[in-house]
Structure 1
Amino acid sequence: MSKADRTKQYIIEKTAPLFNAKGYAGTSINDLIVATGLTKGSIYGNFENKDEVALAAFDYNFERLVSYIRGKMEVRESVIEKLLVYPETYRNFLTNPILISGCPVTNTSTEADDTHPELRARVEEAYNFWRGTLENHLYNGIQKGEVKSDININEFVSVFISIMQGGIIQAKVTRKMASMNLSMDYLERFILSVKN
Structure 2
Amino acid sequence: MTSKAERTTAFIIEKVAPVFNKQGYIGTSMSDLTEVTGLTKGAIYGNFENKESLALAAFEHLSSKLLAAIDDRLTGGGHTLDILFRLTDFYRHYDEFTAPMGGCPILNVGVDAQYNNRHLLGAARETLRTIEGKIALVLENGVNKGEIKLPVPPLQFAKQMFTMIQGAISMATISGDRKYLLNTIAYLEVLMKREMNI
TM-score, normalised relative to structure 1: 0.91
Aligned to 1:51: 52
Aligned to 1:154: 155
Aligned to 2:14: 13
Query: Which of 150-159 and 53-62 deviates more?
Result: 150-159
Aligned to 1:178: 179
Aligned to 1:195: 197
Aligned to 2:145: 144
Q: Deviations over 1:89-135 (max 9, x none)?
A: 22222322567632211211111122211111111211221121111
Where 1:102 maps in the other structure, the secondary structure is coil
CA distance in 1, matches of 2:119, 2:111: 14
CA distance in 2, matches of 1:32, 1:182: 37
8 Å CA contact 2:20, 2:28 repeated in 1: yes
Query: Which of 168-177 and 68-77 deviates more?
Result: 68-77
CA distance in 1, matches of 2:105, 2:13: 14
8 Å CA contact 1:171, 1:177 repeated in 2: yes
8 Å CA contact 1:148, 1:195 repeated in 2: yes
C-alpha RMSD of matched pairs (Å): 1.8
Query: Which of 82-91 and 111-120 deviates more?
Result: 82-91
8 Å CA contact 1:94, 1:101 repeated in 2: no
CA distance in 1, matches of 2:76, 2:159: 26
Aligned to 1:38: 39
CA distance in 1, matches of 2:88, 2:27: 29
8 Å CA contact 2:133, 2:158 repeated in 1: no
CA distance in 2, matches of 1:81, 1:43: 45
- Tell me which stretches of 4 or more aligned residues in structure 1 moved more than 6 Å: none
Aligned to 2:68: 67
Instruction: Give the % identical residues.
Output: 34
8 Å CA contact 1:33, 1:39 repeated in 2: yes
Aligned in 2, Cα 1:28/1:48: closer, same or farther, shift over 3 Å? same
Amino acid at match of 1:107: N
Aligned in 2, Cα 1:162/1:99: closer, same or farther, shift over 3 Å? farther
Query: Which of 18-27 and 135-144 deviates more?
Result: 18-27
- 1:98-109 alignment runs, 5 A limit: 101-109=102-110
- 1:54-133 alignment runs, 5 A limit: 54-96=55-97, 101-133=102-134
TM-score, normalised relative to structure 2: 0.90
Using the TM superposition, give the Cα deviation of residue 36 of structure 1 relative to its aligned residue in structure 2, in angstroms: 1.0
Amino acid at match of 1:146: E
8 Å CA contact 2:133, 2:155 repeated in 1: no
Aligned residues: 196
Unmatched 5+ residue regions in structure 2? none
Unmatched 5+ residue regions in structure 1? none
